[in-house]
Amino acid sequence: MNWKKASNIFILLPLITAVSGNFSLGPVVAGLTGLTWGIGPGSLFIGITTVLLLILTGNINMELIFLYLWSLAYLIQAGYVLGSGKKKTAYFLMAFLSLLMTPVWRLLLGLVPVKLLNELNIAGGLLTIAGLLIFLIRFRLLLKSKASNKEIFESLLVLLCSLTGLMGSFLTLPLWLGGTYLINLFTKNQWEFKSFLFQKDRLYFVLSLLVIFMTTYAASLLLPYGIFSALLLFAILFLFFRQPGKVPAFELVYFSMILGILASRMGILL
């Protein structure tokens, strides 16, 4: 396997944290990154830097560090850091500076009230919901863009690996490797399905239903909050079929964190 294929959050993050002795941290961060950001440019910056900072700071609070690096990646992708033509340099520079600030992070995390840290941990559950919704919208746009079968199945594999990772399972790594191998084999041999089910329009409809089912099931499994699981279901039906023009990732990520903190303070989430 060449470096380009190996440089993936579902491979590198579990390996990094396995070496450090915290087996579940890598898959969890990979899962959260995969849902809220995807596996495109910036995902390695978010995933690897988050994992390293958490290891160096004693894993005090994942949500705060993840949100900081996710926001940095968003600004870099938008061209606000070093311009749009130097994104790779910006990612490297910001990762280096963020890791260099480890003592500052330790100090800041020590100054943050324990109550707020707990609220951020609780809000992380709604961040997972935001990730699921972001994936649904992204998948909907992918279907509308007439993407290739390979892109569609890779997107589904990202969802499956992300959900597996959020459960803290090291199976994320072999699942990604095995799934990628099968998708490449499928593409290489150019299999064509002739059955009624696998006609393109019907296939997209079936995949849409499958994604909605998997997302709803994952929400109830990962987030055993009755009221929010119900809200998620309604949000899925609204957001998935309203045909947005772009993925409102930034809005959903921050709204979920704010909502999670408020719900925690109101005693709805504990």
Residue 35 lies inside a defined structural domain of this protein: yes
Domain count, the chain: 1
Nearest CA among 26, 10, 40 for reference residue 177: 10
Residue 236 lies inside a defined structural domain of this protein: yes
pLDDT recorded at residue 1: 44
Average pLDDT over residues 222-237: 52
Residue 194: pLDDT above 50? no
Largest CA distance in the chain: 62
Residue 98: pLDDT above 70? yes
Residue 270 lies inside a defined structural domain of this protein: no
| pLDDT tens sequence across 65-82 | 999 999 999 999 988 887
Nearest CA among 136, 139, 54, 61 for reference residue 99: 54
Residue 17's domain comprises 3-265
> What is the band of 100 on the pLDDT scale with cuts at 50, 70, 90?
very high
Candidate from 81-85, 190-194, 249-253 with smallest mean pLDDT: 190-194
Return the higher-pLDDT residue of 225 and 77.
77
Calpha distance 199→203 (Å, rounded): 6
> How much is the pTM?
0.83
| Cα dihedral across residues 266, 34, 12, 181: positive or negative | positive
Residue 191 lies inside a defined structural domain of this protein: yes
| Cα dihedral across residues 228, 210, 202, 34: positive or negative | positive
Calpha distance 119→109 (Å, rounded): 14
Residue 154 lies inside a defined structural domain of this protein: yes
Residue 48 lies inside a defined structural domain of this protein: yes
Q: Taking a C-beta distance cutoff of 8 angstroms, is the pair 239, 136 a contact?
A: yes
Nearest CA among 40, 16, 179 for reference residue 28: 16
What's the first-to-final CA gap in the chain, in angstroms?
44
Q: Taking a C-beta distance cutoff of 8 angstroms, is the pair 101, 74 a contact?
A: no
Task: Output b/e per residue, 247-270; b: 16+ Cβ within 10 A.
Answer: bebeebbeebbebbbebbeeeebe
Q: Which amino acid type is present at position 264?
A: S
Q: Which amino acid type is present at position 206?
A: V
Average pLDDT over residues 228-251: 60
Secondary structure letter of residue 79 according to DSSP: T
> What is the band of 264 on the pLDDT scale with cuts at 50, 70, 90?
confident
Other beta carbons less than 10 A from residue 147's beta carbon = 16
| Cα dihedral across residues 140, 41, 15, 180: positive or negative | positive
Nearest CA among 27, 24, 23, 33 for reference residue 11: 27
